[in-house]
């Protein structure tokens, strides 16, 4: 099948490479000429395990091509995916300008019957807007499908190739059948293909992400209560997770969630619900708790050093919002580093993948260590923000020798408090005595 993908960001690149991997001919388009040149050389502009190899292999085999010219991706395609960004507007709503601009250009380029798929995360009602935008500029027959993505950064390729479910939102039976055919290679082990109306499909992604964000904020609130009473959040979490109705996923306390999805989607569902005169109070609280949680470690540093951080060197391990990605959008590390700088501290940071992204954010205001231990030399404290595997079993004796003061503020509860104190460290974590 010939497929066009509009946008070569995180979602578009995964979609294009994975559909090409099952034998489809895929053309991905992006206005960023530098990005397209990079992709044509077999390199990708983001870090995502397994994706660069998948792109390179399918490009070499001729099934995956890249262009800056949208009509080349649309003409002759049976299916065209819209996978452009929907950033948060100032009022919290999803900004649809890129989606509607892509829809307009697609309509102008249509040369025959085409299924046009909203793959971007869009508010309820966007399918109708996209339909009307395209219908205004073409007389060619087309159908609109909402097909939300459920990709985890750091595991996106596996998520696409082995999905939990595929959601297809359309009122056109023929378009639904074409989408079933397209996704059948990925659902042979029994993952359901769920066909529903467009509004329900559009809400699925928001509801899923809002639920996961709620679990994170809830457990962070439990951790904060544990600190007040001297309870151990790990013990509480394990007992709660043992309930088969609840389970263990997304119940780990820390410094809050970040990334390109949870913050944006929580804001968006609150906003579009309010437009129908419904106040989503739970998610308002989820967002408030998360923003507050991001500065918890700063408060603990203030307590420890008596608000005297000026001139002190603080090492930071982890800058990406989660492991296995270089994405720093809404990352807890950003307000933490900014807070340290505002207090006059010198920041020396290390992340296995996010250094280049961090340099665009912080520029020369912080020092970028080449290795984790390099960040510790002469440090008055270590702040752990991202739970990379690299940090789970370090050489504590070496750490203690390198640091000016053996003080650790662990925002991800990586270490056993009793054991690390026996090694001579002062240790602060989240929700544990």
From 252, 280, 251, select the one nearest 266 (Cα to Cα).
280
pLDDT digits (tens, 9 = 90+) for 62-97: 999 999 999 999 999 999 999 999 998 989 899 999
Domain limits of the chain?
2-195, 206-292, 294-428
Is 257's pLDDT higher than 90? yes
- CATH code reported for the domain at 206-292: 1.10.1040.10
Q: From the CB of residue 283, how many other CB atoms can be counted at a distance below 10 Å?
A: 22
Spatial CB neighbours of 288, under 8 Å, sequence gap ≥ 6: none
pLDDT at 318: 98
Is residue 166 within 8 A of residue 178, CB to CB? The reply is no
Q: Torsions phi, psi of 309, nearest 5?
A: -100, -10
Half-sphere exposure of 248 (CA within 13 A, CB side): 7
Q: CA–CA separation, 271 vs 125, rounded Å?
A: 13
Q: If you average pLDDT over residues 389-408, what whole number do you get?
A: 97
Q: From the CB of residue 164, how many other CB atoms can be counted at a distance below 10 Å?
A: 9
Is 249's pLDDT higher than 90? yes
pLDDT at 371: 97
Is residue 147 within 8 A of residue 179, CB to CB? The reply is yes
Is 244's pLDDT higher than 90? yes
Here the tokens at position 89 are 């507007």
Is 105's pLDDT higher than 90? yes
Here the tokens at position 167 are 């959601």
Q: CA–CA separation, 117 vs 90, rounded Å?
A: 27
Share of residues in the chain with pLDDT > 70 (%) = 100
Is 106's pLDDT higher than 90? yes
Find the catalytic residue in 18, 28, 226, 261: 261
Is 215's pLDDT higher than 90? yes
What's the per-residue H, E or C state across the chain? Answer: CEEEEECCCHHHHHHHHHHHHCCCEEEEECCCHHHHHHHHCCCCCCCCCCHHHHHHHHHHCCCEEEECCHHHHHCCCCEEEECCCCCECCCCCECCHHHHHHHHHHHHHCCCCEEEEECCCCCCCHHHHHHHHHHCCCCCCEEEEECCCCCCCCCHHHHHHCCCCEEEECCCHHHHHHHHHHHHHHCCCCCCEEEECHHHHHHHHHHHHHHHHHHHHHHHHHHHHHHHHCCCHHHHHHHHHCCCCCCCCCCCCCCCCCCCCHHHHHHHHHHHHHCCCCCCHHHHHHHHHHHHHCCHHHHHHHHHHCCCCCCCEEEEECCCCCCCCCCCCCCCHHHHHHHHHHCCCEEEEECCCCHHHHHHHHHHHCEECCCCHHHHCCCCEEEECCCCHHHCCCCHHHHHHHCCCCEEEECCCCCCHHHHHHCCCEEECCCCC
Here the tokens at position 126 are 């966007």
Here the tokens at position 163 are 């999905």
Spatial CB neighbours of 343, under 8 Å, sequence gap ≥ 6: 298, 302, 307, 309, 310
Q: If you average pLDDT over residues 134-150, what whole number do you get?
A: 97
Angle between helices 126-135 and 97-109 (to 10 degrees): 40
pLDDT at 183: 98
From 378, 425, 372, select the one nearest 397 (Cα to Cα).
425
Q: Torsions phi, psi of 171, nearest 5?
A: -105, 5
Equal fold, 206-292 vs 294-428: no
In CATH terms, 294-428 corresponds, of 3.40.50.2020, 3.40.50.720, 3.90.700.10, 3.40.50.2300, to 3.40.50.720
Q: If you average pLDDT over residues 286-290, what whole number do you get?
A: 98
pLDDT at 370: 96
- CATH code reported for the domain at 2-195: 3.40.50.720
pLDDT at 42: 85
Is residue 216 within 8 A of residue 210, CB to CB? The reply is no
pLDDT digits (tens, 9 = 90+) for 154-199: 999 999 999 999 999 999 999 999 999 999 999 999 999 999 999 9
Long-range contacts of range 300-308, CB-CB < 8 Å, 24 or more positions apart?
300/409, 300/428, 301/340, 301/381, 301/383, 301/409, 302/343, 304/381, 304/407, 304/409, 304/426, 304/428, 305/380, 305/381, 307/343
Is residue 47 within 8 A of residue 326, CB to CB? The reply is yes
pLDDT at 123: 93
Q: CA–CA separation, 46 vs 57, rounded Å?
A: 17
Residue 204 falls in the annotated catalytic set? no
pLDDT at 25: 98
Is the CA virtual torsion 68, 71, 75, 77 positive or negative? positive
């Amino acid at each position: 099948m010939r497929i066009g993908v509009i946008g070569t960001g995180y979602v578009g690149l995964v979609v294009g490479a994975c559909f090409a991997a099952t034998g489809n001919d895929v053309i991905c388009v992006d206005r960023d000429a530098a990005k397209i040149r990079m992709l044509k050389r077999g390199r990708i502009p983001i870090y995502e395990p397994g994706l660069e190899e998948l792109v390179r292999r399918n490009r070499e085999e001729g099934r995956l091509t890249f262009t800056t010219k949208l009509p080349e991706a649309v003409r002759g395609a049976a299916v065209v995916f819209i996978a452009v960004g929907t950033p948060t507007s100032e009022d919290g709503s999803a900004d649809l300008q890129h989606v509607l601009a892509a829809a307009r250009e697609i309509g102008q380029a249509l040369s025959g019957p085409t299924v046009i798929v909203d793959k971007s995360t869009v508010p309820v009602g966007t399918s109708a807007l996209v339909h009307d935008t395209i219908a205004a500029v073409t007389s060619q027959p087309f159908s609109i499908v909402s097909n939300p993505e459920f990709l985890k950064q750091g595991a996106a390729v596996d998520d696409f190739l082995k999905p939990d479910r595929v959601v297809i939102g359309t009122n056109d039976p023929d378009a639904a059948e074409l989408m079933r055919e397209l996704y059948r290679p990925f659902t042979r082990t029994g993952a359901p293909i769920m066909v529903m109306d467009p509004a329900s499909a559009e809400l699925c992604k928001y509801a899923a992400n809002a639920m996961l964000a709620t679990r994170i904020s809830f457990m962070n609130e439990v951790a904060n209560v544990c600190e007040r009473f001297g309870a151990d959040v790990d013990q509480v979490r394990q007992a709660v997770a043992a309930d088969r109705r609840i389970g263990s996923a997304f119940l780990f306390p820390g410094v809050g969630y970040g990334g390109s999805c949870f913050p944006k989607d929580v804001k968006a569902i609150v906003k579009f619900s309010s437009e129908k005169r419904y106040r989503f109070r739970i998610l308002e609280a989820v967002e408030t708790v998360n923003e507050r949680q991001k500065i918890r470690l700063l408060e603990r540093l203030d307590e420890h050093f008596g608000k005297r951080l000026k001139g002190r060197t603080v090492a930071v391990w982890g800058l990406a919002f989660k492991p296995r990605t270089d994405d720093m959008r809404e990352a807890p590390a950003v307000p933490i580093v900014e807070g340290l700088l505002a207090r006059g501290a010198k920041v020396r940071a290390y992340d296995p993948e996010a250094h280049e992204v961090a340099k665009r954010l912080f520029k020369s205001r912080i020092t970028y260590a080449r290795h984790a231990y390099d960040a510790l030399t002469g440090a008055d404290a270590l702040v752990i923000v991202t739970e990379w595997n690299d940090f789970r079993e370090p050489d504590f004796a070496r750490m203690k020798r390198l640091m000016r003061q053996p003080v650790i503020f662990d925002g991800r509860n990586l270490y056993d408090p009793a054991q690390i104190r026996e090694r001579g460290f002062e240790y602060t974590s989240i929700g544990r005595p």
